[in-house]
Copies of this chain bind each other. A is one copy, B any other.
Amino acid sequence: MEIDGWFPHTVRVRFAETDAQGIAHHASYVVWLEEARVAHLAAVAGGYAAIRARGIEALTTGIELTYERAAVFDDVLTVLVRCGEARGARFRYEYVVERDGERVATGSTRHATVDAATRRPVRVPDWLLADLLSGQVPPSPSSSETS
């Protein structure tokens, strides 16, 4: 896995996010992916508020998650996130959830940009596209060290 394009975001499993099986409920991951995506957008594109300020709203049009290991209360998880693709009025995020370097889950979300007022599809604006893609390949100190 190409590590450079991934933005790391940390979450700690809340007690309210567990269920009677004693593990983190599978719906909790959906919220963690969103929190990681928001953090990524803040890092590369000035935050979701900046996007909305320009009259653009991003809708979630799809999600896919594969759960490989259970997470439990108080686990510290790293959600690795990156924008995997962006074109037209659509973009796609990818995620890997890890605990101590061990893979817990993987997933992806699909999004559409719409005009905030009319809710009609609009192209992902160039400035956002550039930000998302720059986020995809940020300057990598470690790779330059190895060159």
Chain A residues close to B by CB (< 8 Å): 14-16, 18-23, 25-27, 30-31, 34-35, 38, 47-49, 57, 59-67, 70, 72-74
Interface of A is mostly: mixed
Interface contact A21-B59, CB-CB below 8 Å = yes
Give Cα A74–Cα B41 distance, bound, in whole angstroms. Answer: 12
Number of copies of this chain in the oligomer?
Answer: 4
Interface contact B21-A57, CB-CB below 8 Å = yes
Among B23, B30, B70, contact of A27 (Cβ-Cβ < 8 Å): B30
CB pairs A–B below 8 angstroms (6 shown):
A14-B38, A16-B25, A19-B20, A48-B73, A63-B64, A64-B64
Give Cα A26–Cα B48 distance, bound, in whole angstroms. Answer: 17
Give Cα A62–Cα B106 distance, bound, in whole angstroms. Answer: 10
Interface contact A31-B19, CB-CB below 8 Å = no
| Given A47-B74, A67-B61, A74-B49, A19:B15 Cβ within 8 A | yes
| Given A14-B35, A34-B15, A74-B49, A63:B20 Cβ within 8 A | no
Contacts of A18 in B (CB 8 A): 19-20
Give Cα A75–Cα B20 distance, bound, in whole angstroms. Answer: 13
Contacts of A14 in B (CB 8 A): 31, 34-35, 38
